[in-house]
Amino acid sequence: MPDNFGKHEVGHSSLTSHGQLKFPETEFKGVHEHEEPLPPIGVMVTLISLAVVLTATATLVTSLQVSIPLTAPSNASIVPPDFISFSIEQDHWTDWVGSNTASKNQFFANVLDNIIQLTGTPPRFRIGADSEDRTDFQAGLQFTEEHTFPPSATTPYAEASNITVGEAFYLAAQNLPVGTHVTWGVNLKSDNVTAVFLEAQAIADAFKSSSKLTLDAIEIGNEPNEYHGTYRPDNYSIADYIKEWTTFATNISATVPINDDSTVKFWGGAFAGSATHNASGFAPQGLFGNGVQNSAAGQQIKTYAAHFYNMGGGANCGSISSCIQGLMSKTSIRGNLTQWIPDIAFVKSLGLDYVFGESNSYTGHGLANVSNSAGRSKPKTQIPYVAQPAVSSNCLGAALWLLDNVFHATQLGVDRFYFHEGVGYKYNFIQPVTLNVSITDGTPLNPPLPPHVQPLYYGAIIAAEIIGNEGGTLVTELSVNSSTISAYAIYTQDGTLSKALFINSEGFFTENSDGDRNSVHLDFSISGTAPSGISVKRLVINHADDTSGLTWAGQTYQTLDGKVGGTKSIGTGNVSDGVDIPATQAVLVAFN
């Protein structure tokens, strides 16, 4: 047996943690703000008149007028509280939740609860991805057995090349929060109908044993358009795939069960790559146009899932600052998302939901110092500091990308966004277990880095606060004459103006530290009997290429238990004052 056969041991990288950062206060037209100190534990609230947290001397202030409808436009999108959900790489599933109820991962439970406290609803989960197609089933097996690909400097946390699981693997879902909805992937690539039948049976049994969870769907195979050559003939076609899928789906339908009377359905698609709209290929037009719904099982497809990564592997994006700016660019976000509009419209015309079932920033587990970007200064925090190079996927600028990416997607008809996570991946929202080697280059970490959140998690928290827990939240994108300022108005379910989100995607990097930080002053134009007062919360980012040090309304989630800490800082002012938004910052304005 190979040395790496058996239960996987986790080792991982370091995200530098948040600490108290001191910046000069700077006066601006309109609202002014300063940062409150962050005590190690506990939460306090400070209301600061005309308060706006700034992070560096900001000159070169320009002004923009933003028109905000007093009531929701007719084309405003309803955004569900679980719009931001998670796709989990299946091989290390039990690292996330714990292997059983006696070994629950409390850190992961805490960071999910932070979101639930804001939305009233847990994120949904899709469990599968590459390793769903490398999974075999052995009845009675208590621990996951796996082979792993060799780790490397670019992929320190490699995926499993083969895993064998038993019933306990699926029963671990009972550690998810009450009310969680789950979609689970099964193995199509290995072409073993018997094994998949047993997998599906174990999945169904795991959800029958607990009424607190909902099994939404089964996904059959991951990115089958990439099977050809190694696992299927070179000429493997959409028709070949549909024939295989139908055989598997018919067998699964009998055991779960999945039929007109069941709540469990199938996801269709899970294709990789850019949108092709190909009526004869691996696209929704090809899938449904070639008869996937001609069978009884095919008629149970109620959701089409696309796989969408904002950027490629990043090899050609240039410097770290160029890669980060490219990721969070307003123009590139819209270009990447709008390619899917024909597919979304086609799927919606069939009466189906359209989700991004697997998505994130850069492919290949994220790009170092971009996907995890946020702040590299040594912080004072409860999380031990371990110096790390920046990576596009884990830099603070990635948090701005997330917000603009998510809320623009709501305008296009996307029903839900499942962001992909794997233990030690650079683009993670959350690192759920202790990391023993760096996520950026695989070097040993001494001391190891405890479980922690990364910059994208702050984007999820802000989105959760925006969507709220009342249901029926409406969002519309505002027209702003700027290539760097994005704006969204948020309304209650009855159409009343509630908040507005502003994002300044102009990059401010460590290489700019000695220079001026540009800022934009926003003046609000609201027709009718407009609200007079505002309160302001800020996502404060020192530099776009930092990997730690950000705060949301003065608070940090970079704590040992994952719960919020620090003093909450909320600015107050008048609508007529407007707000200033420096480069690489986001502002949430609540109208009083």
Side-chain-side CA neighbours of residue 188 (13 Å): 32
What is the rounded CA–CA span in Å between residue 467 and residue 288?
33
Do 458 and 500 fall into the same domain?
Answer: no
| Integer CA distances (angstroms), 587 to 33, 306, 552, in order | 12, 31, 10
Query: Do residues 248 and 324 share a domain?
Result: yes
Q: What is the mean predicted confidence (pLDDT) over 214-228?
A: 98
| Domain contains 408 | yes
Residues 68 and 85 in one domain: no
pLDDT averaged over every residue in the chain: 86
394 and 540 fall within a common domain: no
* Domain final residue, candidates 462, 481, 511: 462
Using alpha carbons only, give the angle 427, 431, 433 rounded to the nearest 5 degrees: 150
Closest residue by Cα to residue 199 from 246, 160, 167:
167
Mean pLDDT across the stretch 393-411? 92
- Asked whether residue 220 is assigned to any structural domain, the reply reads yes
Number of domains in the chain: 2
Which secondary-structure segment (H or E) carries 145? strand 145-148
- Domain shared by 63 and 101, yes or no: no
> Contact 550/398 with Cβ under 8 angstroms?
no
Same domain (yes/no): 89, 177 = yes
Task: Let me know if residue 7 belongs to a domain.
Answer: no
pTM: 0.88
Domain CATH number, residue 418: 3.20.20.80
Q: Could you tell me if residue 64 is inside a domain?
A: yes
> Are residues 180 and 129 located together in one domain of the fold?
yes
Domain range spanning residue 270? 80-462
Whether residues 499 and 387 fall in one domain: no
Residue 299 CB: number of other CB atoms within 10 A?
14
Query: Would the pLDDT of 284 be above 60?
Result: yes
Same domain, 61 and 90: no
Range 352-377 average pLDDT: 66
Compute CA 191 distance to the chain's CA centroid, rounded to the nearest angstrom.
31
CB burial string 315-345: b at 16+ within 10 A, e below? eebeebbebbbbbbbbebbbebbeebeebbe
Q: Which residues pair with 371 in a beta bridge?
A: 392
Give the CATH number, domain containing residue 477: 2.60.40.1180
Q: Is residue 108 part of a domain?
A: yes
Question: pLDDT, tens digit, for every residue of 468-478?
Answer: 999 999 999 99
- Provide the token pair at 531: 């609200």
Same domain, 138 and 68: no
Helix, strand, or coil (residue 437)? strand
Q: How far is CA 414 from CA 304, 318, 353, 370, 439, in A?
A: 11, 31, 8, 25, 31
55 and 102: one domain?
A: no
Q: Which of 462, 497, 527 marks a domain boundary? A: 462
Question: Could you give the residue ranges of the DSSP H alpha helices within 362-396?
Answer: none
207/91 Cα distance (integer angstroms)? 19
| pLDDT at residue 517 is higher than 50 | yes
One domain for residues 525 and 567: yes
Distance, in Å, from the CA atom of 354 to the CA atom of 453, rounded to the nearest integer, reads 28
Q: Mapping DSSP to helix (H, G, I), strand (E, B) and coil, where does residue 407 land?
A: helix
Question: Which pLDDT does position 381 carry in this prediction?
Answer: 43
- Say what the pLDDT of residue 100 is: 82
The separation between CA 115 and the C-alpha centre of its own chain, rounded to angstroms, equals 12
Asked if residue 27 is part of any domain, the answer here is no
Specify the DSSP class assigned to residue 189.
T
Last residue of a domain, one of 417, 437, 462: 462
Stretch 69-73: mean pLDDT, rounded?
A: 97
